[in-house]
Chains A and B, each alone.
Chain A
Amino acid sequence: MWHVAEGDLHAYLDGALEFYPGDQAERIRRHLETCDACRARLAEEAAVREAASGVLGMAVPGEVTPAPLEELRRRAAVSDGAGETPRRRAVPRRVAWAWAATVVMALGVGWGIGGSWLAPLGERSARSEVRPEEAVSGEASAASAERDEAEVAVPPSTAAPAAGSVDDRAAQALERARVSGSGEPAGGVEGGDRIEVATLREPAVPSQPAVTVAAIPEEEVAERRRATAPETDPAGGVGPTRARDAFKLADGRVVPEAVALTGQVVAAGSLRPIAGVQVSTRDGSAGTLTNAAGEFALRVPAEATTLVFNSIGYRTVEAPIQGQVNVELEQQAVALEGIVVTGAAAPVLRTRLESSVGRLQTADVAAAESRDDSGRAQVEQESLRQRLAPSPDPSLEKAASLALPGIEVVSVEWSEVAPGEEGVRVVQRLEDGTLLELSFVGVRLEDVDAASRAEAGAARAEAPAPAAPAPAAADLPAVPEHLLAEALPQGWHRVALPFRGGWVVVKGPLPEARLLALVEGMR
């Protein structure tokens, strides 16, 4: 049993698994469906992700009104007409500054004569007077203040041809001023709030030459452009829940629009929030888990209509998609103890289905029961029987007895417990919430009474570092290498012991001695 790497958990949460090559995404998804330890970690990472978004969300700028696109178009056109983009500026910076200031000053006079443009100009001027700090920066500040005026003073579309050419020069000069606006030692500050920027941070990328915008690596941008994926630009985008970018389905299709949903899942009756509930669209195109408060946030393709809520121990619920989706989950008729047994069909299900055995199984049973009156029920019953029928080892009821006594059982199922090795996996939860994973390989289940006659043999513990395990005693059978091959999450340990003709491997975030003590109790 491997476990999903932390980065991949984030990729999963961020909907980025689709970019993973080969069947990696599928492997990760399948593992998450069956590995409780990883699901617990996933819930933790989801909380971290939420918290980080929350922190960033605290520092959003207030309403920022963009200039009319027309104005930007004009600015763009102006530099084109000049035949020289601001980035290819040859004039030394200091000179450019002076030039910009001069040109703009001259324009200022022109506007004075123009008369009809005076109103916005006056407004802006008044505003710049309110911020006396600007005066500090002298020449540069004057240029910057004038620059603002220039932008405002240009009438949207009614510019007279003569004035237009002046405008062009002005805007061109402004471009220069803007581009070179960086870095004059004497340039100083442009506004009081800019001072806030004066964090004494080290150069962001010290290795790069200190150049102005003039050195924007256009070629690099173009190169990246070629390298990046087909553009997935927002196409629609109306309404408050508009997602910021296109939505990518699990199969790689791109749906232009996505809808952001939030909601909460609580237990019916007690109304207590339920954490770790799987929330997904019916086609599985999007999904997440609820946090400790039972809340979730999810972006789904606009075409999705139904959310499915899934959690061990609760009945699966479907709810129509609206802005806020709150649901109550009913406890499954089969209580937790029973859930253990519902893994009975696992061996076959594991091979035929891609989803979690336990959940699918119970959901299917429920569905079949509730549709007894319909013709479909027949089919479902049939397929159920088929799935339940032959299995390599249909005695998971007995397997349930493998669990450590007196400790809550989270799940029992047949699955791949080591590379190339199938067996029974039992997940149990200690009172403090710690999850333990027990894997049984080659264990004789028909011989439950044999517990008392279980093989003698001392324990063998394996250090988390995958150093070649040295036998503790010569008479011990060696633990098969592949049972120890899998990397453990940080802080986890593993203990392997001979058990009823096979092996039991116990994993958990506990010291080896503790794991050993727990398993020894069982033997």
Chain B
Amino acid sequence: LSLDWTQLYRTIFPDLVRFLHRKVWDAERARDLAQECFVRALREEPERPRAWLFAVAANLARDEARTVIRRKQHLTLLKNEAADAVAEGDAADELSERERWERVRRALDALAERDREVLLLWDAGMNYKEIAGETGLALGAVGTTLARARKRLVHAYEAEERAHVARG
């Protein structure tokens, strides 16, 4: 039983990065984590690489989130400095991209944990059955969860945009 890892790497890697990016909000870090997933997969040779990779990615991202929380004290102090640095140097369009990411991120944060997870898994190309397996939801609940998640995301994002306009 040998899998075509070259092929899998080529096809799944972008999805994995996309998925992880919505969790860590750092393209480089998402790439590193996605590679880490593949390193492990190459070692384990899972039967169902796709589901396996996403399960590992979700765990890595979760772990990362905890790290972030533990660091938050430290980071809060540094945050302002960083914001200044970005504002100073970078091109305007990168700034607006950052702003856009930030808005999407805040909108996603407005979702319940489970809703967000299901939405991101779907967005990363998983089907309902895979999502149900990954999250422990009943199959029939995936659609309901997605429906709710999508609505909230859209509303939250619109609220973010309004807030942005209001701020000027």
A: residues with CB less than 8 A from B are 5-11, 14-16, 19-20, 45, 48-49, 51-53, 55-56, 58-62, 64-67, 69, 72-73, 75-77, 79-80, 85, 133, 136, 178, 181-183, 185, 187-189, 191-205, 208, 210-213, 216-217, 220-221, 224-225, 227-229, 231-235, 237, 242, 244-245, 248
Contacts and interface: CB of A to CB of B under 8 A. Distances in A.
A48 B9 contact: no
A216 B142 contact: no
A16 B105 CA distance: 27
B74 interface: yes
B140 interface: yes
B162 interface: no
B13 A61 contact: no
Contacts of B101: 58-59
Interface residues of B, number: 100
Contacts of B65: 201, 203-204
A196 B82 contact: yes
A285 to B, nearest CB: 15
A129 to B, nearest CB: 15
Interface of B: 5-15, 17-18, 21-22, 24-32, 34-36, 38-40, 42-43, 46-52, 55-56, 59-60, 62-72, 74-76, 78-79, 82, 85-86, 98, 100-105, 107, 109, 113, 119-120, 122-130, 133-134, 139-147, 149-151, 153-154, 157
Given A19-B127, A58-B100, A221-B55, 19 more contacts: A6-B144, A52-B119, A56-B22, A56-B104, A60-B18, A60-B21, A72-B39, A75-B39, A76-B39, A185-B70, A185-B71, A187-B71, A198-B72, A210-B66, A211-B63, A227-B133, A228-B129, A231-B49, A234-B7
B109 A197 contact: no
**Nearest 7 pairs of A and B residues by beta carbon:** A7-B144, A198-B75, A7-B143, A244-B125, A11-B143, A52-B150, A76-B42
B11 A195 contact: no
A61 to B, nearest CB: 4
Contacts of A196: 25-26, 82, 98, 102
Residues of B contacting A: mostly: helix
Contacts of A205: 62, 113
Contacts of B13: 66
Contacts of A188: 71, 74
B70 A45 contact: no
A24 B150 CA distance: 23
Contacts of A242: 11
A221 B78 CA distance: 37
A204 B66 contact: yes
B102 to A, nearest CB: 8
Nearest to B75: A198
A204 B68 CA distance: 11
A133 B80 CA distance: 13
Contact of B147 (A7, A64, A198): A7
Contacts of B48: 225, 228, 231, 233
Contacts of B34: 66
A202 B70 CA distance: 10
A191 B128 contact: no
A321 B8 CA distance: 28
Nearest to B30: A61
A56 B154 CA distance: 10
Contacts of A64: 14, 17, 27, 30-31
B66 A76 contact: no
A186 B23 CA distance: 23
27 contacts: A6-B144, A7-B147, A10-B146, A14-B143, A48-B154, A55-B154, A56-B123, A58-B101, A61-B27, A66-B13, A67-B35, A182-B64, A183-B66, A191-B26, A192-B85, A195-B75, A196-B82, A199-B68, A203-B69, A204-B62, A204-B66, A221-B55, A231-B48, A233-B11, A234-B7, A237-B7, A248-B127
A193 B66 CA distance: 18
Contacts of A237: 7, 10-11
Nearest to A66: B13
B40 to A, nearest CB: 7
Contacts of B100: 58-59
Nearest to B18: A60
B129 A5 contact: no
A185 B68 CA distance: 10
Contacts of B59: 213, 216-217
Given A183-B67, A204-B113, A225 B46 contact: yes
Given A195-B75, A213-B59, A232 B144 contact: no
Contacts of A248: 127
Contacts of B69: 200-203
Contacts of A193: 26, 28, 82
A6 to B, nearest CB: 5
Nearest to B13: A66
B104 A58 contact: yes
Given A56-B123, A191-B28, A233 B8 contact: yes
B17 A61 contact: yes
B99 to A, nearest CB: 10
A204 B119 CA distance: 15
Nearest to B76: A198
A185 B74 contact: yes
Contacts of A201: 65, 68-69, 109
B151 A48 contact: yes
Contact of A213 (B63, B109, B146, B149): B63
Nearest to A221: B55
Nearest to A196: B25
B104 A59 contact: yes
Given A52-B149, A66-B31, A198-B68, A20 B139 contact: yes
A62 B27 contact: yes
Nearest to B74: A188
B49 A233 contact: yes
A398 B24 CA distance: 64
A59 B143 contact: no
Nearest to A79: B43
